[in-house]
Amino acid sequence: MKSLGNIRRDFAPWNKPDAKPYIQFKDVTKRFGDFTAVNNLSLSIYEREFFALLGASGCGKSTLLRMLAGFEEPTSGQILLDGQDLRGIPPYRRPVNMMFQSYALFPHMSVEQNIAFGLKQDGMPKADIDTRVAEMLKLVKLSQFAKRKPHQLSGGQRQRVALARAVAKRPKVLLLDEPLGALDKKLREETQFELMDLQQTLGLTFVVVTHDQEEAMTMADRIAILDKGEVMQVATPAEVYEAPGSRFVADFVGNINMFEGKVADRDGAGATITSANGVTIRTANAGDAAAGSEVAFAIRPEKIKVSSKKPEGGDNVMEGEIYDIAYLGDMTIFHVQIGNGQVVKASSLNATRATEDPLSWDDKAWISFRNDAGVVLTR
Amino acid sequence: MKHPLSAVTDRLVILIPYFWLLFFFLIPFFIVFKISLSTTAIAMPPYTPVLGLSDGVSGLITQIGEFSFDNYLWLTQDALYFNAYVSSVIIAGISTLLALIVGYPIAYGMARAPATIRPTLLMLVILPFWTSFLIRVYAWIGILKPEGLLNQLLLATGIIDQPLVILNTHTAIFIGIVYSYLPFMILPLYSALEKMDYSLIEAAQDLGCPPMTAFWKVTFPLSLPGVIAGCLLVFIPAVGEFVIPDLLGGSQTLMIGKTLWNEFFANRDWPVSSAVAVILLLLLVVPIMFFQQAQARAQEQGR
């Protein structure tokens, strides 16, 4: 069962100091010629975890997956699976299976032959293969398509065959390379939940590579955000979103407003920040940002309230003008230009049909947010 | 909206290949077929009847009445023709197999080469065509003859102490055919292998196949269309090949192309040589057409 932010409350081995990582990247570097795809990276993934590697293209996430599968060897460093060093073990002897981005279904074989392929290779008795294939077909709801060839299936069905083929051998780890990349939006959303269910049912460790943050947020227990071959942050989706560790992560995941500035004063856990363009922000939590240091104050649009009248009290209130409005149906995004010229994004949920506070282009407006709504980023 | 004229031009474009077939295959074929039904004569052209309207329509009908299948009967009565057909098919078959064995690794290597050097490699495969076919086959005489380059090299390096007899044997014909037709084997194989998604091989390995097993279970079956096309492109011209057996195979090699040439030029027996040609065509074209239809049906049912 998943709760808010996808954290299974009872599942957080990364917080237990004595938990043993299942997959471990230790100081792994991978170079292709003079291009460094992965740079001195260390990462731990736990058993039964749904782990996402998130990043823009060229960040090294696929290289990490291919090194786990055995298609690439690290230039230096170590990869351990269940305590065993994987160096020198060819892909066909590794207890991991991969679901390819292109699905890589064998076009000359039927759906059941595709699923049985790996089992036959292992020399499983014929009767057992048949049982397992039938079981897999049922799992991905494709029993009536067993005899079809891949080109006779829709994109979604092919994706399920690829999935069934990859899990048929009951690998220790299932690697998924952009598993939903080729599906349309609706199907993608449905399939996300199916993948999560499947992972729970089979009790496997999933490592998924994706460039789609929504996908990673929905499915994963933890997300590693990668940039230029390095890990920027490893955390649960909620932590990544609410407490990004750096400007890069804050900017990469979701929408955010950034105020670059200096810590003017610290009082206990909180601080006063003066932004470079003259805005003063009070925040209740400034972490370890020292007084006088250069920081960024970051706040998500949904944590900013927009109103036509000046709100009473409030921790941070700024006057501005509506610069742009985007109506998205479920919510409206306001772009408000505040006194110093900076445009702040604020989103408000359209909970009722008629807006109580009709705001229009060029209207004078007030934005406000609480002092615990944002984060202070030192990196 | 589509211009009505464009529909007409569309049709015309489709008709061009049919016209090609009609003018350069069907009409010549019927001329040859007609000659094969005639009798040889000391005349110009050297057969009768020569169809014409000089005696009116009734004359033409009498002329048509003179056609007979005697030449085809003749082919069955002399074992020479049967033996020549069989020997041609066997020589062409072995040569095709050898060309496949030599050509597949080359095509595979080309398809896996970095994309930047592939055009150069393709160029190198086609390059021999820039020299006359005849000259290239002649060059092989210089290489293969007892005192030729190959024997000199082997003798000089001490691998052999007696010159090998290669020229004027079947081995020389195999070498000649494999050499001459190798590009026709490599090109379709290359195109089949080049468009294959490499992730399929990775998937096979990921599912437990060592590289060799992955090759036989995935790469080879998927390259079959290329294998078939390449084999047909080598086998068909090799069966009727005349120059290579004549130059490299010596006098005792029996191949249908040579037999045909002898009938035509040495015996000046156009009708019999036409019959030989018609039978050769039927022997090759009919099975290949059936085979291709079966292939197409298999593809329809799902690749």
3-class secondary structure per residue, chain B = CCCHHHHHHHHHHHHHHHHHHHHHHHHHHHHHHHHHCCEECCCCCCEECCCCCCCHHHHHHHHHHCCCCHHHHHHHHCHHHHHHHHHHHHHHHHHHHHHHHHHHHHHHHHHHCCCCCHHHHHHHHHHHHHCCHHHHHHHHHHHHCCCCHHHHHHHHCCCCCCCCCCCCCHHHHHHHHHHHHHHHHHHHHHHHHHCCCHHHHHHHHHCCCCHHHHHHHHHHHHHHHHHHHHHHHHHHHHHCCCHHHHHHCCCCCCCHHHHHHHHHHHCCCHHHHHHHHHHHHHHHHHHHHHHHHHHHHHHHCCC
Domains and their CATH numbers in chain B: 71-300 (1.10.3720.10)
CA distance A216 to chain B (A): 24
CA distance B14 to chain A (A): 28
Side chain identity at residue A160, one-letter code: R
Asked if A151's CB is within 8 angstroms of B199's CB, the reply is: no
Asked if A169's CB is within 8 angstroms of B205's CB, the reply is: no
Question: What tokens were used for A164?
Answer: 């069934």
Is B78's Cβ below 8 Å from some Cβ in A?
Answer: no
Is B207's Cβ below 8 Å from some Cβ in A?
Answer: yes
pLDDT at residue B139 greater than cutoff 50 = yes
pLDDT at residue B174, rounded to an integer: 94
pLDDT at residue A282, rounded to an integer: 81
Distance CA B258, CA B264 (A): 10
* Closest listed residue to residue B257, CA positions, set A55, B247, A74, A143: B247
Asked if B303's CB is within 8 angstroms of A118's CB, the reply is: no
**Low-confidence winner among A128-132, A260-264, B131-135, B142-146 (lowest mean pLDDT):** A260-264
pLDDT at residue A105, rounded to an integer: 93
**Spatial contact of A119 and A168, defined as CB atoms under 8 Å apart:** yes
Side chain identity at residue B158, one-letter code: G
Q: Which residue has the higher pLDDT, A28 or A262?
A: A28
Q: Which residue has the higher pLDDT, A141 or B287?
A: A141
DSSP helix/strand/coil, A270: strand
Confidence label for B1 from pLDDT (cuts 50, 70 and 90)? low
pLDDT at residue A319, rounded to an integer: 82
pLDDT at residue A359, rounded to an integer: 78
Phi, psi of A298 (to 5 degrees): -120, 135
Which percentage of chain B shows pLDDT scores above 70? 96
Which chain A residues touch B303 with a CB distance below 8 Å?
107-108, 149, 151
pLDDT at residue B303 greater than cutoff 70 = no
Confidence label for A2 from pLDDT (cuts 50, 70 and 90)? very low
Arithmetic mean of pLDDT, B271-277: 91
Q: Alpha-carbon dihedral of residues B82, B86, B92, B97, nearest 10 degrees?
A: 170
Q: Nearest by CB to B209, which of A70, A92, A96?
A: A92
Which chain A residues touch B203 with a CB distance below 8 Å?
98, 100, 104-106
Distance CA B28, CA B31 (A): 5
Q: What residues pair up with A320 in beta bridges, in sequence order?
A: A338, A365
Cβ–Cβ pairs < 8 A, chains A and B: 66
Arithmetic mean of pLDDT, B146-158: 89
Asked if A69's CB is within 8 angstroms of B209's CB, the reply is: no
pLDDT at residue B2, rounded to an integer: 57
pLDDT at residue A354, rounded to an integer: 63
Arithmetic mean of pLDDT, A45-50: 90
| B66-115 per-position pLDDT tens digit | 888 888 988 888 888 899 999 999 999 999 999 999 999 999 999 999 99
pLDDT at residue A188, rounded to an integer: 85
Burial track A20-57 (b if 16+ CB lie within 10 A, e otherwise):
ebbbbbbebebeeeeebbbeebebbbbbbbbbbbbbee
pLDDT at residue A306 greater than cutoff 90 = no
Query: What is the average pLDDT value for chain A, to the nearest integer?
Result: 86
pLDDT at residue A4 greater than cutoff 50 = no
Domains and their CATH numbers in chain A: 4-95+171-247 (3.40.50.300), 255-377 (2.40.50.140)
pLDDT at residue A6, rounded to an integer: 46
Q: What residues pair up with A349 in beta bridges, in sequence order?
A: A331
- Alpha-carbon distance values, B237 to B92, B241, B284 (Å): 8, 6, 10
Strand pairing category for A257-267 and A294-299: antiparallel
pLDDT at residue A356, rounded to an integer: 60
| B206-233 per-position pLDDT tens digit | 999 999 999 999 999 999 889 988 998 8
Asked if B205's CB is within 8 angstroms of A92's CB, the reply is: yes
Asked if A97's CB is within 8 angstroms of B222's CB, the reply is: no
Asked if B209's CB is within 8 angstroms of A121's CB, the reply is: yes
Arithmetic mean of pLDDT, A288-292: 77
DSSP helix/strand/coil, A274: strand
Q: Nearest by CB to A122, which of B204, B208, B302?
A: B208
pTM tops 0.80, yes or no? no
Distance CA A357, CA A334 (A): 13
pLDDT at residue B30 greater than cutoff 80 = yes
Q: Using a CB cutoff of 8 Å and minimum separation of 24, what contacts does B254-261 make?
A: B254/B80, B254/B83, B254/B84, B254/B87, B254/B88, B255/B84, B255/B87, B255/B88, B255/B91, B255/B173, B256/B81, B256/B84, B256/B85, B256/B87, B256/B88, B256/B280, B257/B88, B258/B84, B259/B80, B259/B81, B259/B84
CA distance A191 to chain B (A): 22
Which chain B residues touch A122 with a CB distance below 8 Å?
208
Residue A309 carries which DSSP code?
A: S
CA distance B116 to chain A (A): 16
Q: Nearest by CB to A108, which of B197, B213, B303?
A: B303
pLDDT at residue A5, rounded to an integer: 43
pLDDT at residue A264, rounded to an integer: 76
